[in-house]
């Protein structure tokens, strides 16, 4: 019976396949085969044995069921894998499997192969989401909306700025993940405590050759494990990506509040139900799920940080935790990336409500512009700030339009006439370089 929601609710088939037990076994067989081939090339083991080991390095021959059956007796997953592997090799070739290696040579190196596949999937999804955000940025490059600081109306901005900002952040995550990949996807065939003692004088050659055969970079030095700062970095990057998706989700959810209603995620009114008791509800469940699951990915990064300081050359405290942390974070992040792609693709910008909200504060959002204009016309900047502030507070308290209050102020009208005041309150002309900034982002990121 399924227990974890990943088994039945969350995650894509492709990412789950990376972390399935059978995939893990297959990767371990490939590492054992690479060790045998490197040793066969050096004459340490018979080449015929190395070739047979490579022929049988597949779950078509070494079944997960048989490995688990043996593990019931040995209570050691790698010993069980080696025994199950040896059973299917002909002409005594099985005697040469795992020659000079230790368990974590296999575990950590095979895990790097899984990471390599997982990172490839994540990078593809990040690029797709970036593309969706850039398309939205282009579409809404000049869609004027209210900017908010502290949850309060500030001055106008554009929705293009929001989408471009998120796309730029995703690009940094893509860069981080690409950089991390080379430090994360590494191989290690260094023996019980990293000295290669069991491999003798050929140890370094075998270590490097296995990396070549598997397409991984051999570590410069290890003890019994690949050092977990590499994995901690990876998990931290996953957490950062999740938090960016969380940030996007929070904004969409906030802008979908009934009172604001500027953004709205897809809702199939013909079939979809928002509440078991309130028939009218249209809840932002996609972006809520993104925000909720991002917390798990973030928390898992902290768990991996605790795996960095192990006892001396190694203890076993990282192993059980990582069996949960790595698959869970990769599957959940992949899942919320898929939700983000779909959510952004189907996101609606309600232009009528955007315009309504611009008008919500009776022109107070133009107070900065009024102050700057007065300063440019000769009123001192500090004086202008004080004059406009008095008018702004009066506008707020009396629930009157700021333009009306400014027109009543004798100091203001010494520097401006009615036509000039009217022009100040055209919100579309106070978005600064927003369209140019957005265009720069689009051009920059499309070329990456």
Q: What is the pLDDT along the chain (448 residues), one digit of tens a residue?
A: 788 989 889 999 999 999 999 999 999 999 999 999 999 999 999 999 999 999 999 999 999 999 999 999 999 999 999 999 999 999 999 999 999 999 999 999 999 999 999 999 999 999 999 999 999 999 999 999 999 999 999 999 999 999 999 999 999 999 999 999 999 999 999 999 999 999 999 999 999 999 999 999 999 999 999 999 999 999 999 999 999 999 999 999 999 999 999 999 988 888 888 888 888 888 889 999 999 999 999 999 999 999 999 999 988 888 999 999 999 999 999 999 999 999 999 999 999 999 999 999 999 999 999 999 999 999 999 999 999 999 999 999 999 999 999 999 999 999 999 999 999 999 999 999 999 999 999 999 998 8
Reported as half-sphere exposure (CB side, CA atoms, 13 A), residue 410 has a value of 0
d(CA 337, CA 174): 13
Q: Residue 104's pLDDT is what?
A: 95
pTM score, whole prediction: 0.95
**Do 235 and 352 lie in a common domain?**
yes
Has residue 92 been placed in a domain?
A: no
The enclosing domain of 320 has a CATH number of 1.20.200.10
Give the distance from CA 37 to its chain's centroid: 37
**Do 336 and 375 lie in a common domain?**
no
**Do 372 and 315 lie in a common domain?**
no
Q: Both tokens of residue 310? A: 């192990």
Q: Residue 355's pLDDT is what?
A: 97
DSSP labels, 274-296: S-SS-TT----HHHHHHHHHHHH
d(CA 16, CA 114): 11
**Do 398 and 418 lie in a common domain?**
yes
Has residue 197 been placed in a domain?
A: no
Q: Is 12 a catalytic residue?
A: no
d(CA 147, CA 304): 38
Has residue 393 been placed in a domain?
A: yes
Q: Residue 317's pLDDT is what?
A: 87
The enclosing domain of 400 has a CATH number of 1.10.40.30
DSSP at 219: P
DSSP labels, 301-357: HHHHHTTSS-STT--SHHHHHHHHHHHHHHHHHHHHHHHHHHHHHT-EE-HHHHHHH
Helical H runs in 346-366? 351-358
Q: Is 150 a catalytic residue?
A: yes
Q: Residue 267's pLDDT is what?
A: 83
CA distances from 120 to 36, 225, 242 (A): 28, 24, 17
Please say which residue of 335, 359, 383 terminates a domain. 359
Of the residues 4, 76, 275, 428, only one is catalytic, namely 275
CB 105 within 8 A of CB 27: no
Please say which residue of 301, 333, 359 terminates a domain. 359
Q: Both tokens of residue 191? A: 């023996």
Of the residues 150, 270, 280, 320, only one is catalytic, namely 150
Please say which residue of 359, 379, 412 terminates a domain. 359
**Do 241 and 308 lie in a common domain?**
yes
d(CA 213, CA 200): 20
Q: Residue 279's pLDDT is what?
A: 86
Reported as half-sphere exposure (CB side, CA atoms, 13 A), residue 291 has a value of 13
d(CA 406, CA 15): 60
Has residue 40 been placed in a domain?
A: no
Q: Residue 127's pLDDT is what?
A: 98
Q: Is 146 helix (H, G, I), strand (E, B) or coil?
A: strand
d(CA 21, CA 29): 12
The closest of 258, 311, 350, 296 to 6, measured between CA atoms, is 296
Q: How many domains does the chain have?
A: 2
Range of the domain at 389: 361-446
Has residue 78 been placed in a domain?
A: no
d(CA 58, CA 53): 10
Has residue 429 been placed in a domain?
A: yes
CA distances from 12 to 118, 278, 323 (A): 12, 31, 19
């Amino acid at each position: 019976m399924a227990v974890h929601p990943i088994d039945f609710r969350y995650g894509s088939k492709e990412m789950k396949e990376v972390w399935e037990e059978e995939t893990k076994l297959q990767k371990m067989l490939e590492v054992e085969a690479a060790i045998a081939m490197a040793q066969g090339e050096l004459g340490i083991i018979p080449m015929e044995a190395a070739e047979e080991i490579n022929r049988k390095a597949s779950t078509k021959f070494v079944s997960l069921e048989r490995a688990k059956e043996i593990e019931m007796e040995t209570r050691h997953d790698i010993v069980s894998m080696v025994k199950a592997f040896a059973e299917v090799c002909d002409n005594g070739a099985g005697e040469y499997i795992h020659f000079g290696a230790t368990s974590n040579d296999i575990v950590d190196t095979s895990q790097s192969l899984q990471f390599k596949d997982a990172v490839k999937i994540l990078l593809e999804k990040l690029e797709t989401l970036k593309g969706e955000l850039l398309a939205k940025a282009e579409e809404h490059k000049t869609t004027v909306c209210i900017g908010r600081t502290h949850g309060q109306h500030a001055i106008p901005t554009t929705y293009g700025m929001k989408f471009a900002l998120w796309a730029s952040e995703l690009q940094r995550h893509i860069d981080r993940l690409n950089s991390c990949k080379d430090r994360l996807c590494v191989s290690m065939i260094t023996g019980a405590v990293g000295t290669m003692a069991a491999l003798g004088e050929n140890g370094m050659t075998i270590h490097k050759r296995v990396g070549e055969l598997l397409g991984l970079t051999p570590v410069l030095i290890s003890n019994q494990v690949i050092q977990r700062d590499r994995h901690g970095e990876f998990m931290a990057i996953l957490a950062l990506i999740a938090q960016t998706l969380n940030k996007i989700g929070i904004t969409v959810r906030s802008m979908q509040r009934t009172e604001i209603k500027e953004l709205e995620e897809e809702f199939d009114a013909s079939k979809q139900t928002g509440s078991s008791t309130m028939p009218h509800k249209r809840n932002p469940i996609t972006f809520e799920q993104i925000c909720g699951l991002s917390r798990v990915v973030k928390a898992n990064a902290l768990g991996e940080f605790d795996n960095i300081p192990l006892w001396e050359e190694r203890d076993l405290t990282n192993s059980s935790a990582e069996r949960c942390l790595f698959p869970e974070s990769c599957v959940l992040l992949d899942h919320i990336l898929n939700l983000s792609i779909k959510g952004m693709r189907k996101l609606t910008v309600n232009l009528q409500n955007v315009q309504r909200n611009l008008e919500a504060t009776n022109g107070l959002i133009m107070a900065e512009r009024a102050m700057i204009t007065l300063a440019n016309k000769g009123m001192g900047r500090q004086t202008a700030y004080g004059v406009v502030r008095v008018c702004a507070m009066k506008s707020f308290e009396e629930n009157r339009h700021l333009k009306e209050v400014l027109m009543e102020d004798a100091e203001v009208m010494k520097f401006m006439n009615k036509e000039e005041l009217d022009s100040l309150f055209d919100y579309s002309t106070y978005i600064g370089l927003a369209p140019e900034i957005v265009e720069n982002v689009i051009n920059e990121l499309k070329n990456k």
